[in-house]
Amino acid sequence: MIVYNNGVYCRLSQAAVSVQDRGYQFGDGAYEVIHYTDHHGVDEDWHLDRLDYSLTQLQIPWPMSANALRQCIRHVRLLNKLSTVNIYISITRGVPATRDFAFPKTPCAPVLTMIPYRHKPVAERLRTKGMTIITAPDQRWGRCDIKAIALLAPSLAKQAATEAGADDVWMVDTQGCITEGSSCNAFIVTPTGEILTRPPSHAILKGITRTRLIALARDAGLKVTERPFAVSELKEAAEAFITRTTGFIIPVTWVDKYSIGTGHPGPVTHNLLSLYETFVQEQKHGRFADTTRFVV
Ligand code: PMP
């Protein structure tokens, strides 16, 4: 596999970063994952807008223009002959002269890496039976709106889910409300058919898939309300699902060993997935024109 490593395309096994990189020492960097399907980047512009937001919040300069970055992503796809792929892009603050918690006085050059990850379609079991999740306290920092590379808290939470035999974890704030999944946004459908998800704030990552899906659902006349919902509401929900770039929409059917609704993926989730899949095809063929910018 060929990756992009700060100016050079090289084999994955030969790609290395400095042990002094602030990404390595402090988790000081931002990232994005963009899904390409038949060489079309699903909402690529929005991902680059969100990357811009993360970098701005962290005061890390762009290592190159957004258009040059698009070209590098394209080269990575072509060099690997991968038309349907997930591209992981990370930008760290770089390698300072000395180790200090404050940013280097003489700014260092940001370090950009890109790794293509083969796209695995959502497993048959998850599509047809839904995911099992546990709930656990949200132990992350106060700026989850930034797509930062520091991912220790969600890793620990996901490990706890794995050890409990579950597919994922939904994290819970101090008020008893769901924030989001370890690497996905969380939605429920109430018994009256209303779609609920937490509004964007510093408590969650404003997902690209989430944002697109909400717009599509509202256009289709469905009622979507952005408000926090409690674990008790999740347990009484008719349906639940997650959204993320690498899986679109995946039903959730069990939480903490309780079944959600019928315990099977429900009709609203199915409908939303088909709306989203149609959108991906339309956007790929240039029939879905949307020039709005992604605002976090
Ligand atoms: N929340 C978190 C914490 C995530 O890591 C992700 C995946 N990037 C998401 C939500 C989903 O965001 P997106 O739809 O942009 O992939």
Q: What is the predicted pLDDT for the residue at 292?
A: 95
- The model carries a pTM of 0.98
CB of 122 closer than 8 Å to CB of 250: yes
pLDDT tier, 267 (very low <50, low <70, confident <90, very high otherwise):
very high
Q: Would you say residue 257 has pLDDT above 90?
A: no
Dihedral angle sign, alpha carbons of residues 44, 49, 55, 58: negative
Q: Which of 290, 288, 285 is nearest to 49 (CA)?
A: 290
Query: What's the CA-to-centroid distance between 247 and ligand 1, angstroms?
Result: 10
> For residue 248, how far is the Cα from the chain centroid?
10
Domains of the chain with bracketed CATH: 2-118 (3.30.470.10), 124-284 (3.20.10.10)
Nearest CA to ligand 1 atom 9: 184
* Angstrom distance (rounded) from CA 161 to CA 242: 15
| pLDDT (mean) for 46-51 | 98
Q: Which residues line ligand 1 (CB under 6 A)?
A: 33, 180, 183-185, 205, 207-210, 243-245
Q: Which of 183, 197, 272 to mutate to test the pocket of ligand 1 (most atoms within 8 A of CB)?
A: 183
Measured by CA distance, the residue closest to atom 8 of ligand 1 is 183
Note the residue count of the chain: 296
State how far the alpha carbon of 149 is from the alpha carbons of 7, 25, 124, 165, 182, in Å: 20, 11, 30, 26, 13
Q: Is 163 helix (H, G, I), strand (E, B) or coil?
A: helix
Percent of the chain with pLDDT over 90: 99
Query: Ligand 1 centre from 147 Cα, in Å?
Result: 8
Task: Give the atom of ligand 1 at the shortest distance from the alpha carbon of 182.
Answer: 3
What ligand 1 atom has the least distance to the C-alpha of 50?
15
Write the pLDDT tens digit of every residue in 197-217. Answer: 999 999 999 999 999 999 999
pLDDT at 75: 98
**Contact predicate 29/60, CB 8 Å:** yes
Ligand 1 atom 2, closest CA: 183
Q: State the distance from the centre of ligand 1 to the C-alpha of 204, rounded, in angstroms.
A: 9
Contacts of 14 (CB under 8 A, 6+ apart): none
Q: For the chain, give the mean pLDDT.
A: 98
| Opening angle at CA 205, ends 184 and 287, nearest 5 | 75
Residue 43 structure tokens: 């909402």
Distance CA(157)–CA(213), nearest Å, equals 26
DSSP annotation of 192: T
Residue 289's pLDDT band (boundaries 50, 70, 90)?
Answer: confident
Q: What is the pLDDT of residue 245?
A: 98
**Per-residue b/e over 257-278, b at no fewer than 16 CB within 10 Å?**
eeebbeeebbebbeebbebbee
Instruction: Give nearest CA residue, ligand 1 atom 4.
Output: 183
**Ligand 1 atom closest to 47 (CA):** 15
Q: For the segment 71-88, what is each residue's pLDDT rounded down to a tens digit?
A: 999 999 999 999 999 999
Q: Please tell me the predicted confidence (pLDDT) of residue 24.
A: 98
Is 81 catalytic? The answer is: no
| pLDDT average, residue stretch 56-75 | 98
DSSP classification of residue 199: P
Q: What is the mean pLDDT of residues 275-285?
A: 98
* pLDDT, mean of residues 30-43: 98
Q: Are strands 131-137 and 239-244 parallel, antiparallel or unpaired?
A: unpaired
CA pair distance 293, 48, nearest whole angstrom: 10
**Rounded-to-integer distance, Cα 232 and Cα 26, Å:** 37
Ligand 1 mean position to 35 CA, how many Å?
12
pLDDT band with cut points at 50, 70 and 90 for residue 14: very high
Contact between residue 91 and residue 24 where contact means Cβ atoms under 8 Å apart:
no
> Can you give the pLDDT at residue 230?
98
* Mean pLDDT of the 263-282 span: 98
- CA–centroid distance, 278 to ligand 1, in Å, is 21
Of the candidates 81, 105, 120, 147, the residue annotated as catalytic is 147
